[in-house]
Chain A
Amino acid sequence: MYPKDLRYSKEHEWARTEGNRVRVGITKFAADRLSDVVYVELPQVGAEVSFMQPFGVVESVKAVSDLYAPVSGRVAEINRALVEKPELINTDPYGEAWMIVVEPRDLAELDRLMDAAAYAAMVGEATS
């Protein structure tokens, strides 16, 4: 449900360190709560994102939600395939449904996020 190699934000984004870059998506918990995702808006490659500031939008049949950057930096890649097939968020949130890759300014920001156990505990609380 929550892979151990990822860091998690309280806004339900995950961050995966890949060398000196960070891949970003949203968690299975968020995908389930959103229900069927119908639209994703991502930033341009080259855009600057800031720690826990909105970088995009995800829309489901229930609601429209902001996406929050789990790390500050420059957007190096965006997942264009996801814009075409937003339903990937519901089927493969940690794999094919990655959203952006960031060249971080300060990797230490990731220390301020949760590990898998802390995140599971947080959403466990939210579901009770």
Chain B
Amino acid sequence: MSARKRTPTHETPGAGAEAGARGERVEPARAARDLRRRPVPVIFERGAPGRTGYSLPASDVPDVPLDAIVPPAYRRAQPAALPEVSELDVVRHYTALSHRNFSVDEGFYPLGSCTMKYNPKINEDAARQPGFARLHPYAPEELVQGALQLLWELERDMAEITGMDRVTFQPAAGAHGELTALLMISRYFEEKGERRTTVVVPDSAHGTNPASAALAGYKVVEVPSDRRGNIDLEALRAVLTPDVAVLMFTNPNTLGLFEEQITEVARAVHNVGAQLYLDGANCNAILGITRPGDQGFDALHLNLHKTFTTPHGGGGPGAGAVGVKAHLVPYLPVPTVERDGQRFLLDGDRPKSIGKVRAFYGNFGNLVRAYTYLRTMGAAGLREAAEIAVLNANYLLSRLREHYDLPYDRVCKHEFVLSGRRQRDRYRVTTKDMAKRLLDYGFHAPTIYFPLIVEEAIMIEPTETESLQTLDAFAEAMIAIAREAEADPELVRTAPHETPVGRLDEVTAARKPNLRWRPET
């Protein structure tokens, strides 16, 4: 493998050069594209010495010499090298960067297992009500009754949707929720005087499952899937011993398939005294149709930023609610929200609790958004959302199945997994190449190379918020790319051609990360 050119991220690597040789194909958008590919300077390169974004009146309090209040040893000798910019410089800089981003507000985003559904703007209206947005987390209970009532009602709603007894909203993301639930289960077994060392995960699990189990101090044992894409029940029974604390299970699983033997799985897990945990990242397909609590799950997490339309936030503030059955309730993080007659209160006096897992009550603004979503949809609306999510996935599956390999051929739930094996073996065009080419057609790429049990995996989750026209346009792009892979593989191998930045050098980025801008000296 020959070394590739190192490409600092603040430049536009290879812009123009790779597309030039095939000018006739990409001609129409060239001028606009060249403009889009112009490098955005870093904020430090904008502005000028002395420029500011404020104008303050003269101080009306006496000057105090710095020496009098901060000993020289603690003061910097040189001023910090901060950007010196006006408000307009700042606005233009970040607006320019945002134009190079891709979001669900801009286009279709079929990223499998991520449920990139539209986030309704009414959620934002609700979360920005000053009564919610300007609350101080230390405000006394009597002044935040509305916020506490919202948390209390949201907990009941989520418990009803999932068939759980109580729910905590402290965890800030799905994986955080997994860890929280595992810590609660550890405490539960500790209290029962049982020493269990092992967590079982299927080979189709999200990578967060074994990671959370390892972080919680467990040994991880993997169980294979069978030919229909279900967990292999015999292999599962073989590893279920009294050492097993939890089976972390995803249903529908990451192949987008409903685990047909869920009842037998639950029985087998409970027969050895272990707990059954649902990775609820894939709950969009089951809202109002089936409840994990009724399937035998003891605990679960929900990604409010997937199923319940709160923003994903670029890996930032999500919400990974955790629901548990009654036997795990004593171990919930503190505080819980309780009701006493007409009053709502925070209960921090829970001696068996695992403690706090997040400052205050989780990402409250996102909880307001999820609550708003539930209230605008209603029970019937949630069920309809799940039905259309499943219908949309099956529609896309039926349109694409001839053009790509389909390793597990079943009616799918919210998502499905194709394979780019055919294109790789016949035309030396990989799934990654085709995903990059999709960007030229104006779509975000699906999840690729996951789940690991599918070679050259292409995992597509359309969600219910996309129209038939959008689904058709996406299907046509995927079909066109399959044809390009055959007729003009080089075009696909060198994609994307139309994006602000061309093919990034991931290898150098991983081997020799260059994360910091430095001024030219």
Contact = CB atoms under 8 A, between A and B. Distances in A.
A61 B452 contact: no
Interface string B1-21: 101000000000000000000
Q: What does DSSP make chain B's interface, helix, strand, loop or mixed?
A: helix
Interface stretch (A7-15, A86-94, A99-107): A86-94
A91 B1 contact: yes
Nearest to B431: A62
Contacts of B452: 63
Contacts of B425: 127
Interface residues of B, number: 11
A64 B510 CA distance: 13
A39 interface: yes
Interface in A64-115: 64, 86-87, 90-91
Which of the four size classes fits the interface of chain A? 10 to 19
A80 B432 CA distance: 31
A87 B511 contact: yes
B1 A39 contact: no
A116 interface: no
Given A61-B506, A87-B1, A91-B1, A38 B511 contact: yes
Interface in B464-521: 506-507, 510-511
B427 interface: no
B449 interface: yes
Contacts of A48: none
A63 B1 contact: no
Contacts of B3: 87
A61 B509 CA distance: 10
Interface in B295-338: none
A36 interface: yes
Contacts of A64: 207
A113 B3 CA distance: 34
B449 A39 contact: no
A87 B1 CA distance: 7
Contacts of A63: 449, 452
Given A61-B506, A61-B507, A127-B425, A36 B1 contact: yes
A38 B449 contact: no
A38 B507 contact: yes
B1 A62 contact: no
Contacts of A127: 425
Nearest to B4: A36
Nearest to A64: B207
A91 B425 CA distance: 21
Contacts of B511: 38-39, 86-87
Nearest to A87: B1
Which of A38, A39, A87 has the most chain B CB within a 10 Å cutoff? A38
Nearest to A62: B449
Nearest to B450: A63
Contacts of B207: 64
B88 to A, nearest CB: 39
What 4 A-B pairs come out closest when comparing CB atoms? Answer: A38-B510, A90-B1, A36-B507, A61-B506
Given A87-B1, A87-B3, 19 more contacts: A36-B1, A36-B506, A36-B507, A38-B510, A38-B511, A39-B510, A39-B511, A59-B510, A61-B506, A61-B507, A61-B510, A62-B432, A62-B449, A63-B449, A63-B452, A86-B511, A87-B507, A90-B1, A127-B425
7 contacts: A36-B1, A39-B510, A39-B511, A61-B506, A63-B449, A63-B452, A91-B1
